[in-house]
Structure 1
């Protein structure tokens, strides 16, 4: 698999599953004070890009059910659909609570991954499917942990918990396909070239465009966030009736 895989990964460049590989000082800037805790630029970007991840990985899962030639790839495809449908529902739950506008399409880079897999056939599809998705999930794993450990917003924290579990599951099922070229995949994961920010950023939806919904499978095992136990930032038990977000005009 070495030669073809190396060419494919080189062409795809760096896998920013959630597009959070570029960290700036602005990520800690508070853009809204909410009853669930302050919302920073990094928090907002995390919610947006979890949503964007599903917008390309969910259809990749659908492709895998149609084109996958091994049991491992088909199983991994089911996990993609199941996990991202639940994450999508969670994003759509908390986004309006935090005054965050969600995209309806993935980033240009992520759409490039999808188009590559649409053009693949047979074993090449299986190999690229497993390696691209192992690479993208691996590249974001540490970033999820950073969001989880630093956010002061309880809704974002809960989403980070769910995302962490989902990403670990997806890493595991990709590895179980037996198709991973670890040397090449980890090299691409840890030595990212610089890409224009526009390639990593999902565009906002046009005004009035209906929200895209990722439908859970009939036998779904993953579930969206239960917000009943998330009433405030956790700093005070008396903030349940506190006002909602005081948004920055640029939020979303």
Structure 2
């Protein structure tokens, strides 16, 4: 703003450059956008079959309703996420994570009606809660308007699903309802620290530690001299 006031021509050029950068950014994706698409794809891969299973094996009507809505919504999300991944060149996983596969096996193994309903609602509510922060972060921070619109839709869907799952009465307060944001862990390659990252972190730690030791010794020496 100061530059533009002092030098109008420079201000126009600066604004033009910012406009061009914004235009370029609106048609590209960053690491967080890629992570978002990957996480949505992971969710679809296991929540679609679990939603279908709930419509078939759920005993409480609220569980059947939640399964039916999740099946429809995640099927639609899967179409969109594939289109966006193709557009922006983001590789997508072809199968759920090992944790999600374990949840699928756990839910599928429940033969008792209420036990199935409770496990389904609890695990799915926890899963939806774990991606909520990521979706909000992408919605607030992405420079890509298409990704922002998709994040808005995903946010509304996750909110709806959490409400439906909570309405079953089977979401436990110590696990499903207050789930930690565990989706963004090293389960996803985008979040894994590389060896160079770890090495850099170690070097920085050693430099800081050495500086602290030197500083303490200098202060001690000054104190002794006095």
The alpha-carbon deviation at position 51 of structure 1 amounts to 1.2
The two structures have a TM-score, normalised by structure 2, of 0.67
Q: What residue in structure 2 maps to residue 95 of structure 1? A: 85
SS at match of 2:90: coil
The alpha-carbon deviation at position 142 of structure 1 amounts to 2.0
Q: What residue in structure 2 maps to residue 38 of structure 1? A: 28
Is the counterpart of residue 164 in structure 1 residue 146 in structure 2? no
The alpha-carbon deviation at position 134 of structure 1 amounts to 1.1
Q: What residue in structure 1 maps to residue 18 of structure 2? A: none
Distance 1:36 1:86 in 2: 24
- Asked whether the equivalents of residues 147 and 157 of structure 1 are also in contact (C-alpha less than 8 Å), the reply is yes
**Structure 1 residues not aligned, in runs of 5+:** 1-32, 203-252
SS at match of 2:96: coil
The two structures have a TM-score, normalised by structure 1, of 0.61
Structure 2 matches for 1:201-212, cutoff 5 A?
Answer: none
Distance 1:165 1:179 in 2: 22
Q: Choose between structure 1 and 2 for higher RCO, CA contacts under 8 A separated by at least 6 residues.
A: 1
SS at match of 1:180: coil
Runs (4+) of structure 1 exceeding 4 A deviation are 191-195
The alpha-carbon deviation at position 183 of structure 1 amounts to 3.2
- Asked whether the equivalents of residues 107 and 201 of structure 1 are also in contact (C-alpha less than 8 Å), the reply is no
Distance 1:140 1:153 in 2: 19
Larger helix percent: 2
Distance 1:146 1:194 in 2: 12
- Asked whether the equivalents of residues 54 and 84 of structure 1 are also in contact (C-alpha less than 8 Å), the reply is yes
Q: Which protein is bigger by CA-based radius of gyration?
A: 2
Deviation per CA, 1:196-229, whole angstroms, max 9, x where unpaired?
Answer: x2x4459xxxxxxxxxxxxxxxxxxxxxxxxxxx
Q: What CA RMSD, in Å, does the superposition of the two structures yield over aligned residues?
A: 2.4
Structure 1 residue corresponding to 2:38, chosen from 24, 36, 48: 48
Deviation per CA, 1:34-57, whole angstroms, max 9, x where unpaired?
Answer: 673331111111112201100000
- Asked whether the equivalents of residues 53 and 106 of structure 1 are also in contact (C-alpha less than 8 Å), the reply is yes
**Structure 2 residues not aligned, in runs of 5+:** 1-22, 191-226
Structure 1 residue corresponding to 2:116, chosen from 121, 125, 131: 125
- Flag the 1:54–1:128 CA change in 2: closer, same or farther, 3 A: same
Distance 1:34 1:94 in 2: 17
Deviation per CA, 1:6-52, whole angstroms, max 9, x where unpaired?
Answer: xxxxxxxxxxxxxxxxxxxxxxxxxxx96733311111111122011
